[in-house]
A and B are shown apart, each in its own frame.
Chain A
């Protein structure tokens, strides 16, 4: 057999160690190189394995170590290095790089956003939150070093960019996540989807947002790396919580229709083709003024030739990244950007950017897998409905 799985295609030779490396290994974590780090792809333990971990997260609560991601703070500081009360300069500067309406972003609110190149290609996708001490960004692990360079190059000198590299990031996802986390930090239950705030767990300071990458209700918790093993232990002491590896993280996000940077989009793909134009706020469509605006705004107005959609296969055989999508006559119309077996769907699923004429739900297509034409149907995303905890109309 030849294992064609190579999560390490583009990585630097030096593989880094996560703060919870020992913690993962002690729990049977099968460590692989991903985004430049040794990370658990699954846990070889009771209840472990990608299928079991995926289904556990959909039914209970899964704990993910996503400390490989980049946590950044963008702000204006006074002469002593403390954040200024007025972060208007940081807001203005960041709006020069992000297509989000940061002026309308209230304290403790999280937005999905993008870093774009001048040509409108996606350099990265990220979450941005307004905090008391500045704007908090969470970017992808594999791209964080390039992001830091891009931000530093394009932010004015009086704007401080801090890489919070002494912080870990844990995600607790699933329908029982709120009970499990509220047992330690009761006030988190008051957060709505895409809201965030500062919390205390005993002496430990936590920054918690109600967000995630599984389509489930859940939280992402930033804390000093030195405290992360204690929190992971405390969460996993709850019988509803199990550690979940990268394998299930990928199948969960695929079922949730959430794109993966470097696969479903990259610097050669614009936000409209990637069906991420919702990340370009209404006001910013009118005013522009962010890197890439000149290229992207016309695309929003007139559309792109292709657009990312879901593909539901009939059978269990997976169509993976790179597989050709064919129309009913067998002519190639696109390429699978990510795909695999959906444990909750119980059939194979995929995503691809298809010509608009075929990017219509219900369209029958084929995917060429090993010379066999697998039938598939174009579908809206997500494949599995999101169960986010949305609060009121303010969302």
Chain B
């Protein structure tokens, strides 16, 4: 499994080397859920909807704030995490596991250029 990170504290995971049309899983990082605090609602994109890299795909409500979430790459939504409707707190407790947000296609693997690997992302958040 390959996991890459955005500067906006989202992760995208997929098997091996990305190919066009491959399905990837998207979520937010542990750093992000900690910064947000208790998550009360997750506004997810519609299944079948088209996402554009770096554009708003949904939002996360915490008790204190609403935060946009962005598509890490362009593609089409194939599945959303239905469990979050009743248990949005999964994003707090397991943001990189059962608290995943949606699955989408990777329309163009070139979109992955510029995303960070684990080491680069850790350096990024230490610099914040």
A3 vs B32: C-alpha distance in the bound complex, in angstroms? Answer: 10
Interface contacts (Cβ under 8 Å), in number, total 70
Interface size on B, residues (CB 8 A): 25
A257 vs B66: C-alpha distance in the bound complex, in angstroms? Answer: 21
Any chain B CB within 8 A of the CB of A320? yes
Interface size on A, residues (CB 8 A): 27
Contact of A317 among B8, B61, B65, B67 (CB under 8 A): B61
Contact in complex: A317, B63 (CB < 8 Å): no
Cβ contacts A323-365/B at 8 Å (1 or 0 each):
0000000000000000011010000100000000000000000
Stretch at the interface among B14-22, B34-42, B118-126: B34-42
Any chain B CB within 8 A of the CB of A316? yes
Interface positions, chain A 1-46, Cβ under 8 Å from B, are: 1-5, 41-42
Residue of A nearest to B70 (CB): A1
Any chain A CB within 8 A of the CB of B73? no
A56 vs B32: C-alpha distance in the bound complex, in angstroms? Answer: 25
Any chain B CB within 8 A of the CB of A151? no
Contact in complex: A318, B28 (CB < 8 Å): no
Contact in complex: A4, B66 (CB < 8 Å): yes
Contact in complex: B67, A50 (CB < 8 Å): no
Contact in complex: A320, B63 (CB < 8 Å): no
Contact in complex: B43, A5 (CB < 8 Å): no
Any chain A CB within 8 A of the CB of B68? yes
> What is the interface of chain B mostly: helix, strand, loop, or mixed?
strand
> What is the interface of chain A mostly: helix, strand, loop, or mixed?
mixed
Any chain B CB within 8 A of the CB of A302? no
Contact in complex: B41, A370 (CB < 8 Å): no
A372 vs B10: C-alpha distance in the bound complex, in angstroms? Answer: 24
Contact in complex: A3, B35 (CB < 8 Å): yes
Contact in complex: A341, B35 (CB < 8 Å): no
Any chain A CB within 8 A of the CB of B69? yes
Any chain A CB within 8 A of the CB of B99? no
Residue of A nearest to B63 (CB): A50
* Chain B proximity of A89: nearest CB distance (Å): 45
